[in-house]
Amino acid sequence: MKPRFALLVGVVFGIGLCLSGMVAPSKVLNFLDVAGAWDPSLALVMGGAMAAAFLPFRLVRGRIPAPGRRIDLPLVAGSALFGVGWGLVGLCPGPALTALGRADPKAFAFVAAMLVGMALHRLWSRGATKTPPAPVADDPS
Report pLDDT digits (tens) over 64-89.
676 667 888 888 988 898 888 888 88
3-state secondary structure of 38: coil
1/120: higher pLDDT: 120
**Domain assignment of residue 130, yes or no:** no
Calpha distance 91→32 (Å, rounded):
12
Helix ranges (H only) for the chain are 2-20, 25-32, 41-60, 73-89, 93-100, 105-125
Q: What is the pTM of this model?
A: 0.63
On the question of pLDDT at 128 being above 70, the answer is no
**Domain assignment of residue 64, yes or no:** yes
Question: Dihedrals φ, ψ of 71, to 5°?
Answer: -95, 115
On the question of pLDDT at 136 being above 80, the answer is no
**Domain assignment of residue 134, yes or no:** no
**Domain assignment of residue 73, yes or no:** yes
**Domain assignment of residue 88, yes or no:** yes
**Domain assignment of residue 59, yes or no:** yes
Residues in Cβ contact with 104 at an 8 Å cutoff, skipping those fewer than 6 apart: 23
Query: 20 lies in which domain range?
Result: 2-125
pLDDT of residue 1: 67
**Domain assignment of residue 76, yes or no:** yes
With 0-12 / 13-18 / 19 or more C-beta atoms within 10 angstroms meaning exposed / middle / buried, residue 89 is middle
How many domains does the chain fold into?
Answer: 1
**Domain assignment of residue 133, yes or no:** no
